[in-house]
């Protein structure tokens, strides 16, 4: 399971991983030197070797270092190169073995012992050992290393500890002063294991050097992983080419080493429309179709030799967030007046009433979405709270809330605060995501009706992420997050100390009581082994967020993945995921 990442688009429809759950009857299959490989028993078909699988994405990666990657444009690549001790079954959501073949937990629930699969090698032929796992954990907790996993693996300000027992066994120990961590298996998947023999020198020079290491200008030969593919080349703005990893440690049901594909190519395109056109032209094999395209693509299935699936809602979210961070005040960022507005819950609630979610659902998603009032998608039936406060579209109510907070419209039609400042700000999103651009235009039109002066200025996704996670010089942003079954996978977002706590990240202590309560709820949820009790805790968190409106959600779109008919092992899972990369294969025609 991966930590939450900033999403360049609505959903990711292809996963890497998905090994047989513990307790399942596994066939006695082996690989040379690997007596207990992973077995992809979930794949419905035995594939064929060869072929090049091509997809597209609308942004270049920002890094190839999986420890510091925090955006989906980067993790789309690193997810094929690196892996964790455990994985999540894409069909069921269960935690399953990854690099670790098994694990045990002590009676007090605080010490977890993981055993690596014997014989796994890095793509350069060096053996994987628990020293690599320990090094990866060390990197996450090193001062100055930019990452979100540290938020997931720190409990009430106390970090996770670890101890190497031998080359295959490593123990992780949660703090003794707190209760056992009930969702530990989901959190430990946040550690992408990286090779110590390649990165130790960089880490020894400090966090800043490690952050730069394995950047986008790295020689691909230096990138060493345990995933199904290795990076062959990267041409910025054009494509990434990945090759089959001959050392991969997983097999199909007949014992054939995976992956089947020879190459995996990610084309970089300027926008979602170009993604669609390349798919229709036969240049790509997969397209994460937008909801409004579903009917059109369905009518073209036979002629275009592809299938488009009516998938469920994604667990991800898309929302408006306002910058409440004092560190963002200054040139290119916030004015003191803007900071004051954005920190005022009355202002945020007024804006929430000015978001026309029904129009967004119909115009942007062609009705294939559900209005959203909570950080949890309606697709997550396990934890969504459907009884949170809602903000129906009502400009009169928005105007009333603003008036109660001291804002007045002048004769010129412009809204001013009590000090006479015109209410104006810049609204941004990632250029090329036409859905978010359409939402931005809808929001701007309604905010202007309130008398606000709003400039809508999309910009390149990597630049936008840098503002969110680095300079903090931004005002209002439309952005999205990936999501998982367990909300605690978003500790890096929802804890006040979180690195992706976008509106005011990395707080030394909560700046207000509602944030402090959310922190307490997440710490309690991390300790709670009873799912029903966790649901109660998460319901209260959703209630608070809906009341305080630090994020203003739009809707939960459905998924509609389109896959060419020549591609095998397609099986729809959670969030519309169509399968795993290592089991993809070409049925008849090789590229």
HEC string for 251-312? ECCCCCECCCCCEEEEEECCCHHHHHHHHHCCCCCEEEECHHHHHHHHHCHHHHCEEECCCC
H or E segment to which residue 426 belongs: strand 424-428
- What's the pLDDT score for residue 10? 40
Q: Are residues 302 and 342 in the same domain?
A: no
What is the domain range of residue 61? 6-310+559-586
Angle at the Cα of 546 from the Cα atoms of 541 and 550, rounded to 5 degrees = 95
Residue 1 lies in a domain: no
Q: What is the dihedral of CA 183, 185, 191, 196, to 10 degrees?
A: 140
Q: Do 549 and 495 belong together in one domain?
A: yes
What pLDDT is recorded for position 21?
34
Q: Are residues 384 and 488 in the same domain?
A: yes
Q: How confident is the model over 408-413, as a mean pLDDT?
A: 96
Higher pLDDT, 432 or 517: 517
Using CB atoms within 10 Å of the CB of residue 564, give its burial: 0 to 12 exposed, 13 to 18 middle, 19+ buried.
buried
In this structure, the answer to whether residues 359 and 278 fall within a common structural domain is no
Predicted local distance difference test score (pLDDT) of residue 14: 43
Name the 3-class secondary structure at 318: strand
Rounded Cα distance, 370 and 379, in Å: 10
The number of distinct structural domains making up the chain is 2
Q: Among all chains, which residue has been given the structure tokens 């937990």?
A: 105
Q: Could you tell me the pLDDT band of residue 589, with boundaries at 50, 70 and 90?
A: low
pLDDT at 82 over 60: yes
The Cα–Cα gap between 312 and 306 comes to: 19
Query: Which token pair is 59?
Result: 């942004």
Contact 230, 198 (CB under 8 A): no
User: Could you report the per-residue pLDDT of 223-259, keeping only the tens digit for each?
Assistant: 999 999 999 999 999 999 999 999 999 999 999 999 9
159: in domain: yes
Q: What percent of the chain lies above the pLDDT cut of 70?
A: 95
Query: Quick check: is 290 in a domain?
Result: yes
Contact 95, 1 (CB under 8 A): yes
CA distance 155 to 143: 17
| Model pLDDT, residue 400 | 97
pLDDT of residue 591: 52
139 and 210 in contact (C-beta within 8 Å)? yes
> What crossing angle do the helices spanning 345-353 and 395-404 adopt, rounded to 10°?
170
Query: 572-575 long-range CB contacts below 8 Å, 24 or more apart?
Result: 572/309, 572/311, 573/90, 573/91, 574/90, 574/91, 574/92, 574/93, 574/312, 574/315, 574/485, 575/11, 575/12, 575/13, 575/311, 575/312, 575/313, 575/314, 575/315, 575/316, 575/379, 575/483
Rounded CA separation 67/149 (Å): 8
7 — pLDDT class (breaks 50, 70, 90): low
Query: Does residue 73 lie in a domain region?
Result: yes
Indicate which CATH number applies to the domain containing 170: 3.40.190.10
Ranges 80-94, 169-183, 275-289, 473-487: which has the least confidence:
169-183
Model confidence at 2: pLDDT above 70: no
pLDDT single digits (tens) 448-496: 999 999 999 999 988 998 999 889 999 999 999 988 889 988 899 999 9
The arithmetic mean of pLDDT across residues 100-113, rounded, is: 94
Whether 407 and 509 share a structural domain: yes
Q: Is residue 345 part of a domain?
A: yes
pLDDT exceeds 70 at position 18:
no
- 122 and 68 in one domain? yes
pTM equals 0.84
**27 and 66 part of one domain:** yes
pLDDT at position 19 is 36
Give the mean pLDDT of the chain.
92
d(CA 136, CA 131): 9
Same-domain status, 456 and 445: yes
**DSSP assignment of 235-255, as one string?**
ETTTEEEEEE-TT--EE-TT-
> What's the rounded mean pLDDT across residues 430-435?
92
What does the pLDDT read at residue 134? 98
Specify whether 219 is located in the same domain as 334: no
Residue 510 has pLDDT above 90, yes or no: yes
> Is the residue at 392 inside a domain?
yes
Which one-letter DSSP state was computed for residue 545?
H
Does residue 540 share a domain with residue 563?
no
User: Based on the domain organization, do 281 and 419 belong to the same domain?
Assistant: no
Q: Any idea what the CATH number is for the domain that residue 379 is in?
A: 3.10.105.10
- Do 503 and 323 meet the contact criterion of CB atoms below 8 Å apart? yes
Residue at 591 is within a domain: no
Is the pLDDT assigned to residue 506 strictly greater than 50? yes
Is residue 163 included in any domain, yes or no?
yes
**Average pLDDT over every residue of 503-513:** 96
Q: Are 257 and 369 found together in one domain? A: no
């Amino acid at each position: 399971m991966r930590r939450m990442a900033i999403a360049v688009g609505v959903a990711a429809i292809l996963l890497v991983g998905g090994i047989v759950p513990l307790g399942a009857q596994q066939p006695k299959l082996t690989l040379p030197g690997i007596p207990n490989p992973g077995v992809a028993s979930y794949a419905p078909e035995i594939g064929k070797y060869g072929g090049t699988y091509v997809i597209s994405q609308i942004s270049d990666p920002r890094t190839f270092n999986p420890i510091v990657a925090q955006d989906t444009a980067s993790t789309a690549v690193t997810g094929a190169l690196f892996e964790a001790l455990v994985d999540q079954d894409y069909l069921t959501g269960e935690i399953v073995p990854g690099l670790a073949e098994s694990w045990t937990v002590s009676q007090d629930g605080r010490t977890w012992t993981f055993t690596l699969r014997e014989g796994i090698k890095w793509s350069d032929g060096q053996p994987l050992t628990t020293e690599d796992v320990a090094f990866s954990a060390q990197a996450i907790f090193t001062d100055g290393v930019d990452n979100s996993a540290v938020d997931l693996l720190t409990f009430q300000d106390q970090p996770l500890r670890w101890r190497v027992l031998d080359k295959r066994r490593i123990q992780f120990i949660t703090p003794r002063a707190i209760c056992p961590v009930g969702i530990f298996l989901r959190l430990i998947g946040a550690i992408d294991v990286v090779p110590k023999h390649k990165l130790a020198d960089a880490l020894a020079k400090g966090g800043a050097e490690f952050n730069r290491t394995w950047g986008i200008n790295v020689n691909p030969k230096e990138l060493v992983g345990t995933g199904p593919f290795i990076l062959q080349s990267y041409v910025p703005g054009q494509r990434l080419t990945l090759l089959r990893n001959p050392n991969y440690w997983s097999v199909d049901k007949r014992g054939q080493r995976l992956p089947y594909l020879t190459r995996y190519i990610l084309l970089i395109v300027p926008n979602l429309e170009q993604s669609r056109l390349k798919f229709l032209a036969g240049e790509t094999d997969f397209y994460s179709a937008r909801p409004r395209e579903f009917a059109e693509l369905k009518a073209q299935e036979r002629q275009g030799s592809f299938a488009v699936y009516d998938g469920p809602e994604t667990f991800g979210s898309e929302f408006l967030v306002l910058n409440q961070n004092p560190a963002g005040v200054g040139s290119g960022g916030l004015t003191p007046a803007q900071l004051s507005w954005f920190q005022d819950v009355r202002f945020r609630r007024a804006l929430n009433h000015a978001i026309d979610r029904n129009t967004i659902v119909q115009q942007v998603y062609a009705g294939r979405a559900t209005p959203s009032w909570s950080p949890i998608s309606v697709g997550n039936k396990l934890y969504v709270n459907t009884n949170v406060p809602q903000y129906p579209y009502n400009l009169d109510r928005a105007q009333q809330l603003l008036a109660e907070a001291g804002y007045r419209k002048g004769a010129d039609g412009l809204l001013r605060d009590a000090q006479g400042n015109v209410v104006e700000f810049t609204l941004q999103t990632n250029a090329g995501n036409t859905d978010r651009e359409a939402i931005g235009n809808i929001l701007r039109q309604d905010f202007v009706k309130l008398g606000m002066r709003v400039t809508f200025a999309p910009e390149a996704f990597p630049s936008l992420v840098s503002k969110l996670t680095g300079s903090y010089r931004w005002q209002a942003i439309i952005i999205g997050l990936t999501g998982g079954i367990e909300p605690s996978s978003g500790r890096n977002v929802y804890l006040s100390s979180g690195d992706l706590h976008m509106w005011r990240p990395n707080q030394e202590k909560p700046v207000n009581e509602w944030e402090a309560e959310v922190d307490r709820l997440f710490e309690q949820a991390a300790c709670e082994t009873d799912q029903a009790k966790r649901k109660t805790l998460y319901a209260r968190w959703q209630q608070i967020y809906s009341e305080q409106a630090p994020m203003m959600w739009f809707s939960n779109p459905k998924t509609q993945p389109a896959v060419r008919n020549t591609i095998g092992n397609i099986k729809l899972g959670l969030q519309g995921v169509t399968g795993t990369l290592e089991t993809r294969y070409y049925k008849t025609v090789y590229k």
